[in-house]
Amino acid sequence: MADILKLLSDKTRLSIVTLLRDRELCVCDITDITGMSQPNASQHLRKLKSAGLVNESRRGQWVYYSLVKTDKPYLTCIYESLPDMKDKIEAAKGCC
């Protein structure tokens, strides 16, 4: 549990988790919304995936990421406390 909470203590990873809370996104959407580079976003997503917090699915050349919500119930209160970012997600260019 400590390792998971330490992973989420990074502001960038917490922002990614917040974005993925409501729907899956591809890495290009995440970079568009956060303003970070694609390699940087991919590195954070890799860490989240290896901790079991994020799933990935490949569709053609695009990789989509979604939040794993059922595996770690102790994170539910954290996920529920995150700010709503639906407006930022809707404003994304949607490159995929």
Question: How much of the chain exceeds pLDDT 70, in percent?
Answer: 96
Q: pLDDT at position 95, please?
A: 65
Is the Cβ–Cβ distance between 45 and 10 less than 8 Å? no
DSSP string covering the chain: -HHHHHHHTSHHHHHHHHHHTTS-EEHHHHHHHH---HHHHHHHHHHHHHTTSEEEEEETTEEEEEE--SS-GGGHHHHHHSPP-HHHHHHS----
Summarize pLDDT for 34-73 with one digit per residue, the tens: 999 999 999 999 999 999 999 999 988 889 999 998 777 8
**Does residue 1 register a pLDDT over 90?**
no
Q: Domains in the chain, please, with CATH?
A: 2-91 (1.10.10.10)
Q: Which positions ≥6 away from 10 have C-beta within 8 Å?
A: 44
Compute the residue count for the chain. 96
In the block, tokens 């990074």 appear at 10
Q: pLDDT at position 70, please?
A: 75
Number of other CB atoms surrounding residue 30 within 10 Å: 22
